[in-house]
């Protein structure tokens, strides 16, 4: 029984780490997009019909919405135990 709980805890830790690194990768990509968009803005006026900037805006909106609702991982056994 103890070994089974240890394996479950190890699995939960691996899942949490994976979710953490995926979140960091997404944040890094969004920061790169922000930097690219700001460099375009520094170069001068940009046509409002620019599809790239609209894509950046949409991604930033998605990222900010995702940051507002970051999920917290809780394993099912720990919910049952509490």
Rounded Cα gap, residues 25 and 57, in angstroms: 18
Query: Between 36 and 71, whose confidence is greater?
Result: 36
**What letter does residue 43 receive in the DSSP assignment?**
T
Joined tokens for residue 21: 């690194």
SS3 65: helix
Highest mean pLDDT among 4-13, 40-49, 61-70, 72-81: 4-13
Mean pLDDT of the chain: 72
Instruction: Indicate if the pLDDT at residue 73 is higher than 80.
Output: no
In which residue are the tokens 């899942």 written? 15
Report the predicted TM-score, pTM, of the whole model to 2 decimal places. Answer: 0.42
Half-sphere exposure of 34 (CA within 13 A, CB side): 11
* CB distance 23 to 70 below 8 Å: yes
């Amino acid at each position: 029984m103890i070994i089974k709980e240890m394996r479950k805890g190890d699995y939960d830790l691996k899942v949490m780490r994976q979710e953490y690194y995926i979140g960091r990768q997404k944040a890094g990509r969004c920061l790169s997009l922000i930097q690219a968009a700001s460099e375009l803005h520094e170069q001068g006026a940009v046509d409002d019909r620019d599809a790239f900037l609209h894509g950046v805006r949409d991604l930033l909106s998605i990222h900010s919405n995702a940051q507002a609702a970051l999920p917290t991982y809780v394993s099912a056994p720990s919910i049952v135990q509490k």
